[in-house]
Amino acid sequence: MSLRRWAIVLGIALVGLANIDTDETDGTKSKPAAPSKVAAPKPKKHLTLYVTGSVVNVRSGPSTAYEKLFQLHKGHAVKELETRDGWTKLSSRNRSGWMSKKYLSPNKPPSTAANSAKKRASQCHPNYSGACVPIASDVDCAGGSGNGPAYVQGPVHVTGRDVYRLDRDKDGIGCE
């Protein structure tokens, strides 16, 4: 660029700088702009998700190729930070990592203790209470002279027909 063109560019720049602080209509100094009343962005609310797999790995990145950092158990609540390619970045107890989205749900799974109690109750004979008398071909009192194949630690209350003959003295309580 020639010296003359540089002089023109420099002159335009100086005029522009001189006019920055003045009102273009009357040459007086303009007031600084009032601060903007734009609301600060609201922090993103993280969705709470629950682990649905029995024991699930949390990894350093969104793939099984990444290092396993720790594991979470079924029903554990986590905060969703980000989702990418079927993987969710999560936060749990001041730790974060990635878990496959297929092991997460917005619905809290039923408690494991409640499921265990239901399962255990379904495997106990309904004619007895106080202890779980298993449903088997034969049940004997633990520590007694019976040959099983199943045993129960008493005492148990007979609430129906004593199908396993655990209440020898017929007082309603077996394996005393």
- Domains of the chain and any CATH numbers: 48-105 (2.30.30.40), 120-174 (no CATH)
Beta bridge partners of 73: 55
pLDDT in tens, the chain (176 residues): 566 665 565 556 555 545 555 445 555 555 555 555 666 555 567 799 999 988 999 999 999 999 999 999 999 999 999 999 999 999 988 899 999 999 999 998 776 555 555 555 568 899 998 888 988 889 998 887 788 888 888 899 999 999 999 998 999 999 98
CA distance 52 to 78: 11
Q: Give the predicted TM-score (pTM) of the model.
A: 0.42
